Amino acid sequence: MRILVVSRGVIGGDMAGPGNRAYHIAQVLAKEVPGAEVTLAVPRQVEQPQVPGVQIAPYTGFSALSLVSKHDIIISSGLMPQLVLNFRDKLFVADLFGQSFMEWLELITSESGGVKRMAWMNKNYAYIKMQLTLADFILCSNERQRDSYIGMMAGLGLVDPEMYANDATLRRCIDVVPNGLRHEQMISDQKVLKGVYAGIKEGDKVILWNGGMVSWYDPETFLRALHLLAKERNDIKALFLGTFYPGLGSFLGEGQMFEPAFQLSKDLGLYQRSVFFEFGWVPHAQVKNFLLESDMGICTYLDNLETRYSHRTSFLDLMWAELPIICTRGDVLAEMVAQRDLGVVVAEGDVAAVADAIRRLVDDKAFYEQCQKNLRAVKPDLSWEIALEPLIHFCREANPTSVAKRDRFLPLLSRSAEYLLSGFLDTVAPKQ
């Protein structure tokens, strides 16, 4: 069995979410699938990573196709239309770990309008249809996402009686495979914050924002809560960890909410006094030191479709470090925080509630320690090995129950052509 995991993101020091996920998928499959030869295809980069038990194969653009021809199972978060050539004799796994369509709706609202907006959305809609049609097995991150994708599949004719007879749950066709926790031990190898970072003293309480700042995040509510607290005390500090996503270009690179948040921190008199920004991107291996020196984590965001279907991977690092979490309600992991008492969940835009949550975690030692105890209890169920069990089973069995390839082939040709055409129209559409 030869398995190819195609990473859409860089692997190594500047690794972000997509690269981190591909890295762990390849590593776990190499360990858990007997006799498998696992290759991790990575974008060409100066630094070549080392992954135990896994071969590394750099690729650029179409060179990935030659790698596909040498493998039996191909796993990627972005299956290319050119794979139609290999459709009949390969098994494809679409790693749809985010509900991308909801994210794209949010992104395009703030980016452009008119013809350009419509062309861009048509391209992305065609892309999802092609992914679902090409895939023999589909991964997503939570049950809400799974329900939404099953609805799309039904609308595309990708659920039929034969498939249902083979598996009435459809788990052998599409299943939940979220991200897991870091493998590292909770041991710091370098002091980076308290007493070291300019403006953060040894006895300060540090709140870490370790998520992104794209359009659905709400750093303003957090900053205004800090402004309230700064009038009362000077021992609460906040660090925004990383402001630029590596390898994502200008569209997603520096998140749309970064500049407004940065300016607001200055306008409120918080910048370099109680609010700090780590510009650029903190290498993946160094993030753990910031986590282990922080006292709590926070992520505030908006109440929209992106939130409902999201699975915020930044929460998992906070759980690994056993940091109580302050977050906005509305998503799956926020429900987990509330139900398991892992921190405090607040309503969207509620400045006073965020300030109260911070006060409680800083001043109520018993509550803080209970949150940490609860975080410690949930960690064993969040390992990569447990998270990847459905994919491990699929690779071991190599016996998909998806709609037969012969019945998907013509729709796949049509949807691949639609994607290529819509991509061209997107490039030539005028901005308005």
Assess whether 298 and 417 both reside in one domain.
no
Assess whether 378 and 392 both reside in one domain.
no
Q: Specify if 199 maps to a domain.
A: no
Tokens 């949807």 belong to residue:
415
Assess whether 403 and 259 both reside in one domain.
no
Q: Specify if 370 maps to a domain.
A: yes
Contact, 21 vs 14, CB < 8 A?
no
Q: Specify if 105 maps to a domain.
A: yes
Contact, 208 vs 294, CB < 8 A?
yes
Q: Specify if 55 maps to a domain.
A: yes
Give the pLDDT of residue 43.
83
Assess whether 134 and 51 both reside in one domain.
yes
Assess whether 392 and 330 both reside in one domain.
no
Assess whether 373 and 409 both reside in one domain.
no
Number of domains, the chain: 2
Q: Which domain holds residue 61?
A: 2-181+385-428
Assess whether 267 and 144 both reside in one domain.
no
What is the pTM (predicted TM-score) of this model? 0.91
Give the pLDDT of residue 251.
45
Assess whether 15 and 131 both reside in one domain.
yes
Q: Specify if 363 maps to a domain.
A: yes
Instruction: Give the C-alpha distances (Å, rounded to integers) separating 181 from 324, 376, 378, 386.
Output: 15, 12, 11, 10
Neighbouring residues of 78: CB distance < 8 A, sequence distance ≥ 6:
6, 8, 131
Q: Specify if 132 maps to a domain.
A: yes
Assess whether 283 and 373 both reside in one domain.
yes
Assess whether 377 and 320 both reside in one domain.
yes
Give the pLDDT of residue 252.
44
Give the pLDDT of residue 245.
59
Q: Specify if 238 maps to a domain.
A: yes
Which residues of the chain register pLDDT less than 50? 249-253
Instruction: Give the C-alpha distances (Å, rounded to integers) separating 71 from 75, 275, 277.
Output: 10, 49, 44
Burial class, 306, CB count within 10 angstroms (exposed 0-12 / middle 13-18 / buried 19+): buried
Strands 73-76 and 236-241: unpaired
Assess whether 104 and 222 both reside in one domain.
no
CATH number of the domain that residue 358 is part of: 3.40.50.2000
Q: Specify if 187 maps to a domain.
A: no
Assess whether 369 and 393 both reside in one domain.
no
Query: CA 71, CA 171: separation in Å to the nearest integer?
Result: 24
CATH number of the domain that residue 23 is part of: 3.40.50
